[in-house]
Amino acid sequence: MVRQGARSSPWISSQLKTAGIGPDDIRTADDLAKVPFTTKQDLRDNYPFGLLACPLEDVVRFHASSGTTGRSTVVYYTQEDIDTWAGLMARVLKTTGLTNRDIMQIIYTYGFFTGGFGFHYGAERLGVSVIPSGAGNTTRQLEIMRDFKTTSFTSTPSYALHLAEVARQNGIDPRTDLHLRQGVFGGEPWGEALRSQIEETFGIDAYDNYGLSEICGPGVACECEAKDGLHFWEDYFILEVIDPETGEVLAEGEKGELVFTPLWKQAMPLLRYRTGDISRIIDGDCSCSLPFKRIERITGRSDDMLIIRGVNIFPSQIEEVISQHPAFQGHYQLVIDREGAMDRLTIRMEVTEELFSGSLKDLLRIQKEIGRAIRSAFFISSEVKLVEEGTIPRSMGKAQRVIDLRGEQL
């Protein structure tokens, strides 16, 4: 991989020269530590064709990020790259229990975003019947699920909750009126409480899938039937876990930032790509007997970490605390602003219409209980606001969990 990159990618060649090394210096996985990291900013700086490592006529596909926080990150694929990606996704779906007797509804955007295409090609490779419904039109999604007897669907976990809400509004019981048995979710961090809520609501097994558009999209790692960490495909990716501050490679089992080197990419080889995602490699073998190591579910991204009154917190950690309360319905939002010179955290959490319109005493009690739980877990105070159902905006993609207003107050 290093030889190919040095020979065909001007970017990789220049990176190796800057580090004072050549391809022959990289012979083992441990030698990778000699190679400089590749970052998302590197992809942006080389937009659109700077990381191309093959003739343009060999490229059969482009995908890109939305570019909402800067220039898009563009990824190129040869036909062999596409075929490999399809095989990785077929492996993901088989690992989560899908077979050629299933009908999978793909509720991801088809376009520059990789999610829809990754699931589509993987499902077809496995022989699963595909409904490429795409994102949006939730009522129509439910009609399709019912009429076509969909057995599996894939979306973000937050959209799955929204789907259940709209189902109930339309008189559809997600457990009894649909034929679902399984779902594969990803695109945003989510915890065990949210998994339990999705499984209970739909009567399905819900599996976590991990990927990132800069590597290939979905297909890097997934859960098995044990749901005890995500198996990553060691025959296609070398994984390192590093200290996000120092870049030091951590020992197996320590939590840090995931760094992937794919071993198969032709059009756009990447060496030591920093994902920004925080996790760790789990010690020991899985009960499912798959030979691949596992990583913990993603805690969050290193650049998503909140620093509130000197305390480092990931939004997913706050979710894990508030989701333990019986009033939690799955929809919440964190608003961070300043009161004078001090950071202030406000947690907006939806409750059922019955609870919201009920006793004020009950609402105040719940707010105090959640506030105490946050203070006990993180040693910070917060303001808890309970709001009625439908107040927090829904999204067909990733939910906007955090609104940080501190920069606007400077």
What confidence tens digit (pLDDT) does each residue in 161-177 have?
989 999 999 999 999 99
Q: Is residue 9 part of a domain?
A: no
What confidence tens digit (pLDDT) does each residue in 12-32 have?
999 999 999 999 999 998 899
Q: Is residue 261 part of a domain?
A: yes
Q: Is residue 99 part of a domain?
A: yes
Terminal Cα-to-Cα distance of the chain (whole angstroms): 47
For the cut 60, the answer to whether the pLDDT of residue 67 exceeds it is no
Task: Give the end of a domain, one of 275, 302, 329.
Answer: 302
Counting Cβ atoms within 10 Å, is residue 341 exposed (0-12), middle (13-18) or buried (19+)?
exposed
Pairing of strands 342-351, 332-339: antiparallel
What confidence tens digit (pLDDT) does each residue in 195-243 have?
999 999 999 999 999 999 999 999 999 999 999 999 999 999 999 999 9
For the cut 90, the answer to whether the pLDDT of residue 71 exceeds it is no
For the cut 80, the answer to whether the pLDDT of residue 332 exceeds it is yes
pTM: 0.83
Averaged over 140-158, what is the pLDDT? 96
Determine the Cα–Cα distance for residues 166 and 172; give it in Å rounded to an integer. 8
Task: Give the end of a domain, one of 302, 333, 353.
Answer: 302
Note the pLDDT of residue 132: 97
**Could you tell me the two tokens for 24?**
């022959």
Considering the domain architecture, whether residues 102 and 240 belong to the same structural domain is answered as yes
* Cα separation values, 406 from 313, 337, 338, 341, 410, Å: 16, 5, 6, 10, 7
For the cut 70, the answer to whether the pLDDT of residue 287 exceeds it is yes
Q: Is residue 197 part of a domain?
A: yes
**Could you tell me the two tokens for 315?**
């939004």
**Could you tell me the two tokens for 311?**
């305390």
Considering the domain architecture, whether residues 351 and 206 belong to the same structural domain is answered as no
Q: Is residue 265 part of a domain?
A: yes
CATH number at residue 205: 3.40.50.12780
Q: Is residue 57 part of a domain?
A: no
* 64-73, 80-89, 315-324, 389-398, range with greatest mean pLDDT: 80-89
Residue type (1 letter), 247: G
b/e 33-49 (16+ beta carbons within 10 angstroms → b): eebbebebebbbebeee
For residue 113, the enclosing domain spans 79-302
Considering the domain architecture, whether residues 248 and 154 belong to the same structural domain is answered as yes
Considering the domain architecture, whether residues 227 and 372 belong to the same structural domain is answered as no
| Mean per-residue pLDDT of the chain | 92
64-68, 115-119, 313-317, 325-329: which range is least confident on average? 64-68
Considering the domain architecture, whether residues 329 and 249 belong to the same structural domain is answered as no
Q: Is residue 30 part of a domain?
A: no
- Quote the number of domains for the chain: 2
Note the pLDDT of residue 397: 65
For 6, phi then psi, to 5°, come to -65, -35
